[in-house]
């Protein structure tokens, strides 16, 4: 990375964890695990979700973003990157906090898979019951 002046933040969703480094730069690009967001997430929808915070805060052209993501699935990783970028933007530009908070990008989504219980097939699904 060319500059030592960067902002770091961590974002989470389910079991995915994204750590982001944001550098003030003329070219606005989002790199995820060494690849462009569109290349890493494969679909435009997931790449758009990852870059959504930059678009909402209207600072997409001002920052170069390098994200490292691990764990979870591809959808959870995209949400984790969005969460991390949102946190980094609020550190860099505190006046964008209100906009990002209204879009629900600063809240960690607490939904996760419920654990399997003993005697059940899944978290809540019971084996078929028969009277006789």
The string of pLDDT tens digits covering residues 83-93 is: 999 999 999 99
Q: With a cut of 70, say whether residue 122 has pLDDT above it.
A: yes
Domain ranges of the chain: 6-102
Let me know how long the chain is: 132
Q: With a cut of 60, say whether residue 1 has pLDDT above it.
A: no
Average pLDDT over residues 28-50: 94
Predicted TM-score (pTM) of the model is 0.88
> What pLDDT was estimated at residue 128?
95
Strand partners for 64: 23, 29
User: 6-102: which CATH architecture?
Assistant: 2-Layer Sandwich (3.30)
């Amino acid at each position: 990375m060319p500059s030592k002046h960067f902002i770091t933040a961590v974002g989470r969703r389910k079991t995915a964890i994204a750590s982001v480094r944001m550098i003030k730069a003329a070219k606005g690009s989002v790199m995820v695990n060494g690849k462009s967001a569109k290349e890493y997430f494969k679909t435009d929808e997931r790449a758009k979700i990852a870059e959504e915070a930059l678009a909402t805060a209207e600072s997409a052209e001002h920052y170069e973003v390098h994200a490292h993501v691990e764990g979870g699935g591809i959808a959870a990783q995209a949400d984790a990157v969005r969460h991390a970028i949102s946190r980094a933007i609020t550190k860099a530009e505190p006046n964008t906090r209100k906009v990002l908070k209204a879009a629900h990008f600063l809240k960690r989504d607490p939904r996760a898979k419920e654990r399997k219980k003993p005697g059940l097939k899944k978290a809540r699904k019971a084996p078929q019951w028969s009277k006789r």
